[in-house]
Amino acid sequence: MLLKEIISALEAKTIVDFTTEPNKDYHWVCATDLMSDVLFYSTCQSLLLTGLAKTQTIRTATVADLSIIIFTRNNIPDDETIELARTKGISLFVTPFSTFTASGKLFTQGLQCCSDVNFTEED
């Protein structure tokens, strides 16, 4: 699913956008508020769907090589968090839907949970 299709499906608004590959296909989603789960289960090809709009979310995404975060239920991060995302080159979007509903919308479009997939290191 292309990012623009994901953004459209979630009726999401752009906070900061550093994406350079508009036609990149996304297959995996990491949907959680637990940053420990992000570190344990995510792959660098996932996009992060979360309600936790804090600086630690940006740092977690940075460490896990996740370049796109979609905040759910209109949880717009504060200026410090947005500025940190800018310095790390992480794109931020916000959707009015809850994490549950947003996950459902993406699931029905064929996206899968990142923890359901076994990746090798080279992936």
Partner 1 sequence: MDTLIEGSFHIVGGDFSNAGKASTELKTILTNCGLDIAKIRRAVIATFEGEMNIIIYAVAGTITYEIQNGKLLITLQDIGPGIKNIELAMTEGYSTAPDWVREMGWGAGMGLPNMKKNADIFKINSIVGEGTTVEIIINLY
For residue 4, the surrounding DSSP H or E stretch is helix 3-9
Q: Closer to partner 1 by CB, 59 or 86: give it.
A: 59
Q: Minimum distance from CB of 41 to partner 1 (Å)? A: 9
Q: Taking the complex as a whole, how short is the minimal distance between the CB of residue 110 and partner 1, in angstroms?
A: 26
Q: How far is the CB of 18 from partner 1 (least distance, A)?
A: 16
Decide whether 18 or 40 has the Cβ nearer to partner 1: 40
Q: What's the min distance (Å) between Cβ of 14 and partner 1?
A: 23
Q: How many other CB atoms sit within 10 Å of the CB of residue 22? A: 9
Give the DSSP letter of residue 2: B
Alpha-carbon distance 88 to 73, whole Å? 24
- The answer to whether the beta carbons of residues 50 and 99 sit under 8 Å apart is yes
Residues 114, 123: Cα–Cα separation, whole Å: 13
Which is nearer to partner 1, 8 or 98 (by Cβ)?
A: 98
Which spans of this chain sit near partner 1 (rule: CB under 8 A)? 33-37, 39-40, 44, 52, 54-57, 59-60, 62-65, 88, 121-122
